[in-house]
């Protein structure tokens, strides 16, 4: 088995080197040589996934500060202490005009103009990727059973996106290589279990290598993250990934929604600490949220309902803030370095929302008490 994995890796690296050489020649024609620019991160990230903002604004969303003055939502969040913005990127989502590369460019520019770091979330799909689906982009479907060609496509796409962003001065600081990749990535149809780690490790390492090569060629360090839904799944997933030879990433990303986890806020510290210490990685909760009410203002059912409510944290603005404050404290105690709130600005508009009771803005577009969690240091 070890010989087989070595042979696969060797063949893959030969193919990647040929792709890399052609990329490097183009890139070097446009670069100033110099030493790699180090990243200086804050002690703790207080983040917001703002992937829906452009769409919501096109649907008529308006946001206000606590003085009831209409302001840009990025300005509001940055003034409250948000220091990193997260964005999902779909490969070629023909069903929507959002979360494609053009849309993400607009979003990253807004984040940088407001002094935020950027976490770019490659879904490696034309639609949502999560524990229930990891659907290969349509453009790559012909290669779904050709792992070497697929690894090459994955490398090229990751590298090319970063280069395109680089020349627009929109380089992200951290890239997430897949979204909630509990299952094997880049699948067709019904999910295959168990994970084929020879295939999965080869694909993930190709994406990691693309980011490493980009950083080397541009002298601009971009860190990499692997993202799993729920701490209990991260425990087995990273053990298996490590044994399979997945290497050289810097961050563990976790989605944490208490209603779908076996860990409560009060006992989440230990599994997070185990992940950090066992794999010598930095860790961030890159998705969490909590309702400030169980009411609704549109016809779309809300995702977080009564089953999301914990006894210690009622569905009130105070309960939302206390949940975020407690979770932040536990993450810090574990050695974790950040929390990203998922879609705090997905408020109800003419387009409706399945999240309006779990945003950080009330039904009038005014910040909830929960927004204070961004300013805890």
User: Per-residue confidence at 29, pLDDT binned at 50, 70, 90?
Assistant: low
pLDDT, average across residues 120-149: 98
pLDDT at 3 over 80: no
Active-site residue identified among 153, 287, 330, 356: 287
d(CA 281, CA 290): 27
Catalytic residue status for 287: yes
Active-site residue identified among 57, 164, 180, 190: 180
The CATH architecture that domain 2-31+46-375 belongs to is: Alpha-Beta Barrel (3.20)
List all residues 6 or more positions away from 125 whose beta carbon is below 8 Å from its beta carbon. Answer: 90, 91, 133, 134, 135, 136, 137, 179
Q: Please tell me the predicted confidence (pLDDT) of residue 13.
A: 54
- % of the chain at pLDDT higher than 90: 89
Model confidence over 312-354: pLDDT tens digits? 999 999 999 999 999 999 999 999 999 999 999 999 999 999 9
User: Per-residue confidence at 1, pLDDT binned at 50, 70, 90?
Assistant: very low
Q: Please tell me the predicted confidence (pLDDT) of residue 6.
A: 42
d(CA 270, CA 16): 39
Model confidence over 219-249: pLDDT tens digits? 999 999 999 999 999 999 999 999 999 999 9
pLDDT at 153 over 70: yes
Residue that is written with structure tokens 């680089």 in the block? 166
Q: Please tell me the predicted confidence (pLDDT) of residue 39.
A: 75
d(CA 359, CA 284): 20
Q: What is the CA angle 326-41-169, rounded to 5? A: 125
pTM for this prediction: 0.92
Q: Please tell me the predicted confidence (pLDDT) of residue 4.
A: 43
């Amino acid at each position: 088995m070890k010989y087989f994995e070595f042979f696969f890796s060797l063949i893959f690296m030969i193919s990647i080197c040929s792709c890399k050489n052609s990329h490097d020649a183009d890139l070097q024609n446009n670069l100033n040589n110099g030493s790699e620019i180090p990243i200086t991160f804050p002690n703790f990230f207080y983040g917001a996934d703002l992937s829906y903002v452009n769409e919501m604004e096109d649907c008529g969303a308006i946001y206000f500060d606590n003085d009831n003055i209409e302001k840009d939502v990025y300005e509001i969040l940055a003034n409250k202490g948000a220091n990193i913005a997260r964005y999902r990127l779909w490969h070629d989502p023909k069903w929507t005009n959002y979360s494609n590369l053009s849309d993400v460019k607009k979003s990253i520019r807004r984040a940088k103009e407001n002094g935020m770091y950027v976490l770019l979330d490659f879904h490696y799909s034309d639609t949502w990727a999560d524990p229930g689906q990891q659907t290969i982009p349509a453009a790559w479907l012909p290669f779904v059973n050709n792992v070497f060609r697929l690894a090459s496509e994955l490398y090229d796409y990751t590298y090319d996106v970063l280069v395109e962003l680089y020349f627009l001065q929109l380089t992200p600081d951290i890239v997430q290589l897949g979204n909630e990749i509990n299952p094997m990535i880049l699948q067709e149809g019904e999910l295959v279990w168990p994970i084929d780690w020879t295939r999965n490790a080869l694909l993930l390492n190709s994406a990691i290598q693309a980011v490493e090569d980009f950083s080397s060629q541009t002298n601009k360090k971009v860190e990499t993250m692997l993202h799993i839904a729920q701490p209990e799944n991260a425990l087995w997933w990273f053990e298996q990934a490590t044994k399979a030879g997945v290497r050289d990433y810097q961050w563990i990303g976790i989605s944490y929604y208490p209603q779908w986890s076996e860990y409560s806020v009060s006992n989440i510290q230990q599994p997070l600490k185990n992940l950090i210490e066992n794999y010598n990685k930095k860790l961030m909760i890159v998705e969490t949220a909590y309702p400030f009410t169980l009411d609704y203002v549109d016809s779309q059912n809300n995702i977080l309902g009564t089953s999301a409510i914990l006894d210690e944290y009622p569905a009130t603005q105070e309960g939302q803030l206390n949940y975020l404050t407690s979770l932040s404290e536990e993450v810090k105690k574990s050695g974790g370095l950040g929390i990203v709130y998922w879609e705090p600005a997905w408020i109800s508009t003419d387009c409706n929302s399945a999240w309006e009771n779990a945003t950080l803005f009330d039904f009038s577009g005014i910040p909830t008490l929960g927004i204070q969690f961004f300013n805890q240091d």
